């Protein structure tokens, strides 16, 4: 057993000395002449595992002192020394679990040693238990996060698959989409960020023959080359430092389903070559493995860049470009389909009204006008962010642009003004509730998760 620290508390010097002699060979022993002194020692000596205290001391009783010790560290083993056996306070304290055991004076030295030894064994169990519990809690939280991420990435979530809009520009894309739905042809989605490329990829998957299999999205710019390679193709245990077990790649996981490779222009030349091989021969190898596997995966690639230009600049393989360009679909920016704005606003109001639990059923004409007059460089994602914020700040069933409406039209100044309003509102509430996120969320009428996201987006910390 490791060397534990004990604290002995008694106003009688002689008893302190005797107990110190009993234990100093086996433990580190601290002594205190009064309960207050003992509590002082506890503040600085955080490793104390067990306290033996006299019940009758001038400043407070041993039991009273232990009630304070529990506040400091409930794991510390508490033993009382007493001259009486029928002390009601003592019995009560034992019953309430405030002390571990009591020793009646005069005591047997050996008996006391055994008692302390046993008590420390149970202390170790408690500490170990707590450590394991904490580990379990952390592992659970990690798993929970991983699960959520996976579910998100797998995109099995089929709510929110509606592609809203009747503008000729969007209609024409959807007409083309309907022609590839029944095949497994590779699709190339181009368009600015936020125009709905990911949404369209999910739409294609969920309306095609692979709808009962998995849909996975992988961003090609978010991982290093080596990580992306093993993420996509998998690796064999020992293939590189840190490859402690076999790893199944997305081409295996997505077997029978659809794999969306986003920001394809960011893929390294070496990986571009491997992707080309999958597209041409339908086969691939795990990193560190010599045999090929067959891939039955529908590939959709997306990019917000001009791939032709990337090819000319020598950054993207021409052969891969021709191979993925079989069925190109271009998502027009929102400014080229302004007539879709009202429907998108309505859709977003419903979506965020539900998510934020603040139902908004109408929007004022002025507010809608302002929203229609804006050019949305961030496209539909920006429109959604805007509506989410507005819903968050709005009260009542009608969305008014309130404070920022006088700015005549929604320009970039108006937007940053809106951000400021949200920011200062959250800051005010954080202040008011001393950083208690639960209370802030409650007052805003949103969930803690939503609040977290808003804090992150506004770079605020609680």
Ligand X SMILES: Nc1ncnc2c1ncn2[C@@H]1O[C@H](COP(=O)(O)OP(=O)(O)O)[C@@H](O)[C@H]1O
Decide whether 196 or 353 has the Cβ nearer to ligand X: 196
Tokens 């009428």 locate to: 445
CA–CA dist 310, 218 (Å, integer)? 20
Q: Is 384 a residue that touches ligand X (CB under 6 A)?
A: yes
Q: Is 193 a residue that touches ligand X (CB under 6 A)?
A: yes
Q: Please state the φ and ψ torsions of residue 136, each to the nearest 5 degrees.
A: -60, -40
In the complex, least distance from residue 165 CB atom to ligand X, rounded to whole angstroms = 5
Decide whether 54 or 384 has the Cβ nearer to ligand X: 384
Angle value at C-alpha 50, between 47 and 54, nearest 5 degrees: 130
CA–CA dist 68, 73 (Å, integer)? 9
Q: Is 198 a residue that touches ligand X (CB under 6 A)?
A: yes
Partner touching 381 among Mg ion, ligand X, none, CB below 5 to 8 Å by kind: ligand X
In the complex, least distance from residue 253 CB atom to ligand X, rounded to whole angstroms = 21
CA–CA dist 222, 284 (Å, integer)? 22
Partner touching 213 among Mg ion, ligand X, none, CB below 5 to 8 Å by kind: none
CA–CA dist 417, 404 (Å, integer)? 7
Listed ranges 7-15, 41-49, 197-205, 361-369: which one lies at the site for ligand X (CB under 6 A): 197-205
In the complex, least distance from residue 355 CB atom to ligand X, rounded to whole angstroms = 11
Size of the site for ligand X (CB under 6 A): 18
217, 260 Cβ separation under 8 angstroms: yes
In the complex, least distance from residue 384 CB atom to ligand X, rounded to whole angstroms = 5
In the complex, least distance from residue 154 CB atom to Mg ion, rounded to whole angstroms = 15
Which H or E element spans position 363? strand 362-363
In the complex, least distance from residue 222 CB atom to Mg ion, rounded to whole angstroms = 12
Q: Please state the φ and ψ torsions of residue 256, each to the nearest 5 degrees.
A: 85, -10
The residue sitting closest to Mg ion, measured at its beta carbon, is: 198
**b/e sequence 373-409, b meaning 16+ C-beta within 10 Å:** ebebebbbbbbbbbbbbbbbbbeeeebbbeebbeeee
Partner touching 380 among Mg ion, ligand X, none, CB below 5 to 8 Å by kind: ligand X
* Burial (0-12, 13-18, 19+ Cβ within 10 Å), 421: middle
Decide whether 199 or 254 has the Cβ nearer to ligand X: 199
Q: Is 155 a residue that touches ligand X (CB under 6 A)?
A: no
Helices (H), 195-340: 197-206, 225-233, 250-253, 269-281, 307-312, 318-324
The residue sitting closest to ligand X, measured at its beta carbon, is: 196
In the complex, least distance from residue 435 CB atom to ligand X, rounded to whole angstroms = 30
Helices (H), 356-396: 365-372, 379-393
Contact residues toward Mg ion (CB under 5 A) are 198
Cα-to-chain-centroid distance, residue 386: 23
In the complex, least distance from residue 256 CB atom to ligand X, rounded to whole angstroms = 23
In the complex, least distance from residue 2 CB atom to Mg ion, rounded to whole angstroms = 55
Binding to ligand X in span 203-232, by CB under 6 A: none
Listed ranges 121-129, 138-146, 380-388, 446-454: which one lies at the site for ligand X (CB under 6 A): 380-388
Partner touching 18 among ligand X, Mg ion, none, CB below 5 to 8 Å by kind: none
CA–CA dist 299, 261 (Å, integer)? 7
Listed ranges 195-203, 206-214, 311-319, 450-458: which one lies at the site for ligand X (CB under 6 A): 195-203
Partner touching 68 among ligand X, Mg ion, none, CB below 5 to 8 Å by kind: none
Q: Which two tokens stand for residue 21?
A: 């002699």
Q: Is 442 a residue that touches ligand X (CB under 6 A)?
A: no
Decide whether 43 or 159 has the Cβ nearer to ligand X: 159
**b/e sequence 182-197, b meaning 16+ C-beta within 10 Å:** eeeebbbbbbbebbbb
Q: Is 161 a residue that touches ligand X (CB under 6 A)?
A: no
In the complex, least distance from residue 374 CB atom to ligand X, rounded to whole angstroms = 15
* Cβ contacts of 20 within 8 Å, gap of 6 or more: 8, 29, 31
Q: Write the interaction track for ligand X spanning residues 340-369; mark x where CB under 6 A is met and - where it is not.
A: ----x--x----------------------
Map 106-144 to HEC letters. CCCHHHHHHHHHHHHHHHHHHHHHHHHHHHHHHHHHHHH
Q: What is the largest CA-CA distance in the chain?
A: 97
Q: Is 165 a residue that touches ligand X (CB under 6 A)?
A: yes
Tell me which residues touch ligand X (CB under 6 A): 160, 162-165, 191, 193-199, 344, 347, 380-381, 384
């Amino acid at each position: 057993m490791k060397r534990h620290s004990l604290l002995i508390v008694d106003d009688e010097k002689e008893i302190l000395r005797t107990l110190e002699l009993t234990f100093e060979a086996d433990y580190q022993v601290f002594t205190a002449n009064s309960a207050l002194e003992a509590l002082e020692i506890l503040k600085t000596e955080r490793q104390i595992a067990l306290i033996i205290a006299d019940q009758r001391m001038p400043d407070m009783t041993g039991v009273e002192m232990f009630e304070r010790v529990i506040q400091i560290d409930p794991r510390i083993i508490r033993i009382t020394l007493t001259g009486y056996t029928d002390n009601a306070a003592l019995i009560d304290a034992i019953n309430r679990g405030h002390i571990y055991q009591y020793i009646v004076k005069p005591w047997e030295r050996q008996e006391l040693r055994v008692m302390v030894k046993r008590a420390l064994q149970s202390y170790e169990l408690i500490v170990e238990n707590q450590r394991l519990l904490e580990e379990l809690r952390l592992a659970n939280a990690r798993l929970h996060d991983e699960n959520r991420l996976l579910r998100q990435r797998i995109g099995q979530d089929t709510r929110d698959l509606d592609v809203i809009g009747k503008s000729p520009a969007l209609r024409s894309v959807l007409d083309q989409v309907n022609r590839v739905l029944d095949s497994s042809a590779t699709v190339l989605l181009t368009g600015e960020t936020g125009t709905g490329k990911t949404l369209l990829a999910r739409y294609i998957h969920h309306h095609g023959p692979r709808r009962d299999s998995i849909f996975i999205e992988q961003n090609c710019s978010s991982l290093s080359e080596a990580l992306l390679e093993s993420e996509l193709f998998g690796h064999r245990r020992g293939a590189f430092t840190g490859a402690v077990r076999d790893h199944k790649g997305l081409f295996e996981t997505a077997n029978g389903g659809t794999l969306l490779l986003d920001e394809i222009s960011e893929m390294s030349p070496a990986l571009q070559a491997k992707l080309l091989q999958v597209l041409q021969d339908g086969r691939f190898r795990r990193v560190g493995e010599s045999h090929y596997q067959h891939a039955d995966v529908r590939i959709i690639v997306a990019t917000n860049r001009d791939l032709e230009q990337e090819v000319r600049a020598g950054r993207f393989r021409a052969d891969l470009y021709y191979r993925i360009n079989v069925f190109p679909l271009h998502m027009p920016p929102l400014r080229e389909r302004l007539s879709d704005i009202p429907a998108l606003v309505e859709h977003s109001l419903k979506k965020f009204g539900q998510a934020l639990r603040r139902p908004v059923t109408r929007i004022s004409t002025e507010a809608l006008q302002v929203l229609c007059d804006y050019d949305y460089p961030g496209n539909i994602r920006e429109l959604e962010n805007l509506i989410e914020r507005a819903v968050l700040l709005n009260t009542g069933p009608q969305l008014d642009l309130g404070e920022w409406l006088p700015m005549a039209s929604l320009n970039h100044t108006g937007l940053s003004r809106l951000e400021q309003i949200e920011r200062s509102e959250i800051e005010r509430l954080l202040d008011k509730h001393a950083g208690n996120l639960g209370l802030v969320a409650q007052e805003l009428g949103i969930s803690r998760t939503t609040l977290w996201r808003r804090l992150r987006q506004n770079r605020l910390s609680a």
